[in-house]
Amino acid sequence: MDTEPNMTGVVFSGCKITEKLGQGGMGTVYKAHHEALDKFVCVKLLSPELAKEQRNIEFFLREARSAAKLEHPNIVHIYNFGQENGSYFIIMSYVEGKSLQDLVAERGPLPVKEATDIMIGILDGLGHAHSKTVIHRDIKPANILVDKQGFPRIVDFGLARSISEEKQLTMAGEMIGTAYFMSPEQGLAGTVDNRADLYAAGATYYYILTGKYPFDGKTSIEVIHKHIGEPVPNVILVNPDIPLWAARVIERLMRKKPEERFQTAEEVTAELRKHNSGEVPLEAVSAERTFDIPEVTARMAAVPPPPPPPQQASLEKAGTKTSGRTKKTDSPAITKPHEPPSMFKEPAARPTLQLAALHNSVKIALHLALTLGATGCFILAGASGNVPGSLTAPLASNPAAAFGLAGLGAALFFWALWQKPLKFTPVYLLFAVTAAAAAYAGGAYIPAPAGADTVAKGFLALKIGLENMFSQANLIVYALFLYLAASKAVFRDNWLFKVLAVAAYLCGLAFTYAYFKDGAQLAPEGIWLAAGGGLALAGLAAALTQKSFNLFFSPQGFFLAANIVMFAMFTNPQVETITGVKVKAEAAAADEANRANRENYQRALEAAQAEVLYDVDGRPVEKKQPPPPAEVKPAPEGELRTRARLQYYTVLGRRVRSALAESAGIIFIALFLALMANVCFIEELLAAYRERELY
């Protein structure tokens, strides 16, 4: 057998391996440090021997694909997967704790309440997976990680598959799963659905309550045959302290026919929560007769019920439920060793969630205040000059105020940046820097009267902006806003976001049309309208079908091209008009120059003919005729068109700049960019919130 290579220090997708955690059937799991997130993660590597077969690689990658579709606190989160350094890897969240298998091996059977809380978490995770059409197919204690607070997480989706998945990696007649927890239909290699996971959950519940497998044998085949043909052993015979309702849940979960079991994980969790919370009186439970075991029935039917074992009694005293929270009594009860986390309880009684949500709301409000305050400082910095319309005037005439206000704005932006979970990200930095630049320019271009101070200019900018909020001059600003906002939301999985993004793209395109059409005395050509409409339809199709950026089928690219077509549709006729004027003027100038040259030539010719020259011998000398003048030709039409286009763009730029300055449109741009930075911040905060499983 080959010696296992030392992977310490090897980096996979930015995660540096620090130590080995364990060995599994598909490969090895390592602890690693994620350098970008500054946190520990797990890196699972496919065994090199298994990687020699494509089928094993598909199994391994299917684990990553299956788990990556799931976002739930009770399922280990997948960050990345792929191939690097000659190995196939999966990067997942790191759980500081033990597997449920190791926990039972160390402590023995778990108390009913603790075991039930763990099962509720497992079933909550399974319910989420089943809602995404993912079946785990290998639920067992070894695939459940329990952290130090007793919170369970499901791992190892290597055998998982989607109900709608067409490609099957298991061959006909092949049994997939672990024999001790395998459902009868898996043992028979039959059709498997979510109820197979519920059967395995029942077997897991049996194991953690008793410390024993439901069925045991010398070989896996023997165990599988027992799952298929033998009745489920009575869990109360193994551990008489287990309540009857728990035995009833296990018996129903592990029925041979899937249609006779619980049909969904939600049904099971509702049943477990009802009994584990104490909502059902013990007398009502003890009146049931699911098993005909006289000694057990007599014991449970006794009124009042006998006191539980010391440890269980202490747990019940220490765990009295009051308004969804656990409170301690004055009795000298033994402290509960593994109190279930508040996430196991009903949503209405989760103060941790409320405090975390409040904390994030405060952070969002603080970040918004910082970015808007920073934008305001840059507006005032631009307005501190004494010459409107000059970007250098503030620095030349009032450098102390300009640099001071700009420095304060930069400090506020850095403070906002410090609030971010990911710190320096290019998109956020781009929005912040451009917002600062636009705010400074907007302040510098405020048409303020002479002698107005900086604060007065700031209020004037606000007044002008509010008065011209719906001005025609700001349509191009709103078109830019809508394009950027739509580009930010178009790849969301939520269809509502996609529809809103498409609507924003189309409205922005309409605003671009209206802005350049305003005042243009011409009708757009059909070919331009057709080109713009075709690009808009292509962008619509890309927006509704694409889930990530695609260079060749991008909604951003198509709608940007459509806006450019709208611009060209009104620009080109204007350029042609100017070109025509220039062609006529150039032709007239050339004709005038040629006429003047001909007249000058004629006069020179007449003068030469009138004058007679003689040589030294007195003979007349024949004079040379003056050369005819060269014809002056007008400039080429292509050159004149280039001049016309440059002239049009210069005039258009002045018009746009003047309109934006007079309507405070540049300040609108700055505020919008600051809001886009806030959108980036909220997205990062929610992503970090989900990672830390605060809700």
- What are the catalytic residues? 138
- Residue 602 tokens read as 């004629």
- Residue 282 tokens read as 């013990």
In this structure, which long-range contacts are made by residues 361-369, counting pairs with CB atoms below 8 Å and at least 24 apart in sequence? Answer: 363/419, 363/685, 364/678, 364/681, 364/682, 364/685, 366/419, 367/416, 367/419, 367/678, 367/681, 368/678
As to burial, measured by CB atoms within 10 angstroms (0-12 exposed, 13-18 middle, 19+ buried), residue 183 is buried
Q: If residue 515 lies in a helix (H) or strand (E), which one and from where to where? A: helix 495-517
Q: Is 468 helix (H, G, I), strand (E, B) or coil?
A: coil
* Pick from 678, 674, 664: nearest CA to 433: 674
Q: List the alpha helices (DSSP H) in 8-82.
A: 54-68
Q: List the alpha helices (DSSP H) in 145-287.
A: 184-187, 194-210, 220-229, 235-238, 244-253, 265-276, 282-286
| Dihedral angle over CA of 425, 428, 433, 434, nearest 10 | 140
Inter-residue contact 555 to 489 (CB < 8 Å): no
- Longest CA–CA span in the chain (Å) reads 163
d(CA 561, CA 557) in angstroms, rounded, equals 6
CB neighbours of residue 342 within 10 Å: 17
CB neighbours of residue 152 within 10 Å: 29
Name the pairing type of β-strands 39-46 and 15-23. Answer: unpaired
Name the pairing type of β-strands 320-322 and 161-162. Answer: unpaired
**156 backbone φψ class: left, alpha, beta (φ>0; ψ -120 to 50):** left
* Pick from 629, 645, 632: nearest CA to 586: 632
d(CA 72, CA 93) in angstroms, rounded, equals 12
Inter-residue contact 158 to 51 (CB < 8 Å): no
